[in-house]
Amino acid sequence: MKTYFRGAVAAIALTAAAMTSTVAQAADTIKVGILHSLSGTMAISETTLKDVMLMLIDEQNKKGGLLGKKLEPVVVDPASNWPLFAEKARELIEVKKVDVVFGCWTSVSRKSVLPVFEELNSVLFYPVQYEGEESQRNVFYTGAAPNQQAIPAVDYLAQQEGVKRWVLAGTDYVYPRTTNKILETYLKDQLGVAADDIMINYTPFGHSDWQTIVADIKKFGSAGKKTAVVSTINGDANVPFYKELANQGIKAEDIPVVAFSVGEEELAGLDTGPLVGHLAAWNYFMSANTPENADFIKKWKTFIKNPKRVTNDPMEAHYIGFNMWVKAAEIAGTTKPDAVIDAIVGVTVPNLTGGYSAMMPNHHITKPVLIGEIQANGQFETVSSTPGLVPGDAWSDFLPGSKDLISDWRKPLSCGNFNVKTGKCSGKGS
């Protein structure tokens, strides 16, 4: 009996020691949350972002980690389910105890998690183009705001392609609707486009039957005025959309499409032959001819063990955001959110297209704007680029409720939507 008791005590002691060791090991790593859909309609775009985060973490660990500790990736799958994003974000922060989160793609997923990051005071780096009209203290927007993508794309089509009629085609959620609201106002007020020359259409996520819609676009474009499609169609719905364009004989020289959510990764799953000449507006293309990009591509293909895998704009946004977070943590001497948030404004890091991107007081970054033509090999040839880097604007100059708002998270202002006319902070940033 005594022998059994002593054995039980020893077993309990060993278990306690093992638990203590596990806790100590956990404390010896800095956990990085990765919140991207690995299943569902958005997996076509988001899986690559999970992969590039694993690469960036691996590369940083090869350099010695951060603040004397190794980085540990913690991956979850919100499965293209917008409420599930909030649950998974809470799991990462409260249960997994991550120090930072890189994730989301759609604006509806980002909107879902905003209250969680604010409540738990954690940090999110969001890497995808979005509609603006938001600036949250706990979020860093490394993708394009409308003035870094949508507005320059429309200007290019109007000035270089002579477009007079506009189809604004999008997936039915907040990003396309708000972006198209900005674009409709811009087309009418700034470019003098008549309401009859603007066609707006929305379809659900995963929409697959494009025959009628594409026929309507073709008919709209037959009125004798140069017509273009501005596409905020997101996810795997792009595959049947472009296939139907080809089926109905719509070529780039007839009705060019400029896309904001189609990059090299999405083109990898398409027959690009019929798409040649159509356009995309981004802040990065894999074809960028810089030493930084060549090094990034080489490391990516080595890490992913597949020479056919491509790079794209949101991957570069994660590259920039991750390096900014690392630099801010080094400046602050800690990964605690408040210290990182204070330290990161003004941080500059190399981008992949040449030059340095900076984190601004509104938690957006400076980026070049590129317009690219789709090539037969699934890459883009840049046909237009801004002469320098464009600062991201959180609040649109073309919406009445936004044009008087600025965002500055530095003390003492610490406001995401400060009204310059009233001199008051309107709220928390969205």
pLDDT per residue as tens digits for the range 217-248:
999 999 999 999 999 998 888 889 999 999 99
The DSSP 8-state label assigned to residue 389 in this structure reads: P
Helices 150-160, 174-189: inter-axial angle, 10-degree rounding: 40
Q: What's the pTM?
A: 0.89
How many helices (H) and strands (E) are present in the chain, helices listed first?
A: 12, 19
Strand partners, 374: 380
Q: How high is the pLDDT of residue 11?
A: 44
Residues in the chain: 430
CA distance 406 to 429: 10
State pLDDT tens for residues 189-220: 999 999 999 999 999 999 999 999 999 999 99
CA distance 130 to 178: 9
CA distance 200 to 177: 10
Strands of 262-413, DSSP E: 279-282, 348-350, 356-358, 366-367, 370-374, 380-385, 390-391, 405-408
Strands of 327-379, DSSP E: 348-350, 356-358, 366-367, 370-374
Contact 259, 233 (CB under 8 A): yes
CA distance 45 to 17: 44
Mean pLDDT of the chain: 92
Q: How high is the pLDDT of residue 10?
A: 44
State pLDDT tens for residues 44-95: 899 999 999 999 999 999 999 999 999 999 999 999 999 999 999 999 999 9
State pLDDT tens for residues 360-380: 999 999 999 999 999 999 999
